[in-house]
Amino acid sequence: MQESKRNYYQSLYEIATAVNSAGEPDAVLHSVVENVTRAVGAKGCSLMLLRLDRRLLVHAVAHGLSDEFIRKGLVSADESIPEALEGKPVAILDVTEDERIQYPQATRKEGIASILCVPVRHRGEIIGVIRVYTSEPYHFTEDDIYFVSAVGNLGAIALENAKRYNRLREGYEAFRQLIF
């Protein structure tokens, strides 16, 4: 078996285990982006969610990227690789020559050469994207795209679990305040 496929299987197992755990939501989501980074051999990975108005993407969690890059500015859903929000995975080989890169100077400064952007779906609705960033030009394979897409689905489940976990914790705290 190829090493990359073995890495993908191991990472999917670790992500599924984290999603199925009762761990803190932030730790579960960080496990998702960290495992993707490691499995693909990438510079970094981010999970970005659409705001309710569906105009902006917001970093939910990232790994391997500087705070400066993450906070570079508002990420427009219409200007920053919009095809992914239409349900299509997008692989960009050379970020310096692609007009879909909203912040080309910040991307170059971060040392990013290629990006894979796949939609994150929850119950059929696109709620955000997972982006994989490489420091060298990289031709993303079908296996890369399938792997990151599968992780995107697990990420959506993790987000739903996080919402439920937070509601449960808030309910418990409210109940506890009533009793004590």
Which uninterrupted H or E stretch holds 130?
strand 125-134
What mean pLDDT comes out for the span 85-90? 94
Q: Which tens digit of pLDDT belongs to each residue from 92-101?
A: 999 999 999 9
Give the distance from CA 92 to its chain's centroid.
Answer: 16
Q: Does domain 3-9+25-179 have CATH number 3.30.450.40?
A: yes
Q: Which tens digit of pLDDT belongs to each residue from 100-119?
A: 999 999 999 999 999 999 99
Helices (H), 21-141: 25-40, 67-70, 104-110
Other Cβ atoms less than 10 A from the Cβ of 90: the count is 21
Domain-by-domain residue ranges, the chain?
3-9+25-179
Q: Which of 136, 124, 117, 130 is nearest to 32 (CA)?
A: 130
pLDDT above 80 for 120: yes
CA dihedral 119, 123, 127, 131 (to 10 degrees): -30
